[in-house]
């Protein structure tokens, strides 16, 4: 039940990767923009390669920036050629619900042998169709599902049951994390992976009472050292 990091900031990724607690990285154009990425496609290439190199062989998702059939195909081929561990994110359908993306997803996986992460999904039924099309990862946006007044856990439970029963290879990534508690509750509901924004990963790790306890140990440790300062190691 791995955790991925939902970020394109190399220093953030490096920090959590060095701790050994992340098993992959997800990005999208909105995250890249928010993280201050510049330089157009060359900027995306440089950043994606840097992240892929840093975490290899862990998977890195890079999203196409277009919804035109031919450009999705060509971007997917280019992005996946940057590193072996890069998979390509494609949205489930176009901005007006255009259906052609599914055909591209199927073609990328089955003809071009490119791993696809189908994204921007809000329901188990969308994810199931993406899985049938051959997607390696199906990304459901748990926080947005909850924002719409539904419970993401219900969708995750249904989806995991259906995927397991159909022996489809797709792995469920639940993204759009909003609260620390989302991570464990979504994994428990059946997500294969939860992708977490950096500040929530920090929130999972740091507990105010742990801080207080560590402060107590350090305070008392200093006192013990002070009291024992004339004692030799052999005497301890
Ligand atoms: C997908 O991988 C992300 O989690 C995506 O950025 C959605 O997150 P948001 O709903 O917080 O924007």
Tens digit of pLDDT for each residue in 25-51? 999 999 999 999 989 999 999 999 999
Residue ID of nearest Cα to ligand 1 atom 6: 176
CB 195 within 8 A of CB 4: yes
Quick one: pLDDT at residue 229?
A: 79
Answer with the residue of higher pLDDT: 235 or 174: 174
| Burial (CB count within 10 angstroms: exposed 0-12, middle 13-18, buried 19+), residue 16 | buried
Answer with the residue of higher pLDDT: 234 or 17: 17
Alpha helix positions (H), the chain: 10-18, 29-34, 40-55, 69-82, 100-110, 124-132, 142-147, 152-166, 180-189, 198-205, 208-227
Whether 182 is in the pocket of ligand 1, judged by its Cβ within 6 Å, is no
9 carries an active-site annotation: no
- Which residues, including other chains, have CB under 8 Å from residue 220's CB and lie 6 or more apart? none
Whether 91 is in the pocket of ligand 1, judged by its Cβ within 6 Å, is no
Whether 144 is in the pocket of ligand 1, judged by its Cβ within 6 Å, is yes
For residues 131 and 52, give the distance between their C-alpha atoms in angstroms, rounded to a whole number.
25
pLDDT at 232 over 70: no
Lowest mean pLDDT among 32-36, 80-84, 129-133, 170-174: 32-36
Ligand 1 atom at minimum distance from 26 CA: 2
CB 5 within 8 A of CB 194: no
Tens-place pLDDT, residues 193-218: 999 999 999 999 999 999 999 999 99
Using the mean position of ligand 1's atoms as its centre, give its distance from the Cα of residue 60 in Å: 15
Using the mean position of ligand 1's atoms as its centre, give its distance from the Cα of residue 59 in Å: 17
pLDDT at 190 over 90: yes
Quick one: pLDDT at residue 1?
A: 76
pLDDT band at 121 (very low <50, low <70, confident <90, very high): very high
pLDDT at 132 over 90: yes
Quick one: pLDDT at residue 228?
A: 83
CB 32 within 8 A of CB 44: yes
From 15, 18, 34, 89, active-site residue: 89
Residue ID of nearest Cα to ligand 1 atom 9: 176
Quick one: pLDDT at residue 165?
A: 96
């Amino acid at each position: 039940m791995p955790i991925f990091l939902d970020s394109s900031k190399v220093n953030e990724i490096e920090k959590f990767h060095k701790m050994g607690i992340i098993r992959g990285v997800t990005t999208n154009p909105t995250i890249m923009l928010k993280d201050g990425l510049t330089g157009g496609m060359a900027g995306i290439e440089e950043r994606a390669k840097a992240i892929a190199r840093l975490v290899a062989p862990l998977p890195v998702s890079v999203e196409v920036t277009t919804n035109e059939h031919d450009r999705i195909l060509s971007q997917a081929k280019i992005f996946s050629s940057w590193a072996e561990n890069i998979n390509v994110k494609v949205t489930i359908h176009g901005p007006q619900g255009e259906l052609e993306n599914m055909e591209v997803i199927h073609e990328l996986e089955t003809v071009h042998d490119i791993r696809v992460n189908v994204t921007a999904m809000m329901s188990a039924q969308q994810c199931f169709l993406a899985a049938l099309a051959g997607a390696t990862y199906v990304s459901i946006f748990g926080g947005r599902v909850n924002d719409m007044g539904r419970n993401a856990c219900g969708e995750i439970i249904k989806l995991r049951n259906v995927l397991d029963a159909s022996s489809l290879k797709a792995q469920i990534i639940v993204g759009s994390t909003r609260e620390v508690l989302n991570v464990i509750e979504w994994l428990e509901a059946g997500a294969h992976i939860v992708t977490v924004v950096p500040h929530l990963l920090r929130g999972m790790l740091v507990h105010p009472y742990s801080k207080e306890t560590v402060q107590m140990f350090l305070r008392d440790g200093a006192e013990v050292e002070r009291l024992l300062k004339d004692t030799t190691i052999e005497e301890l």
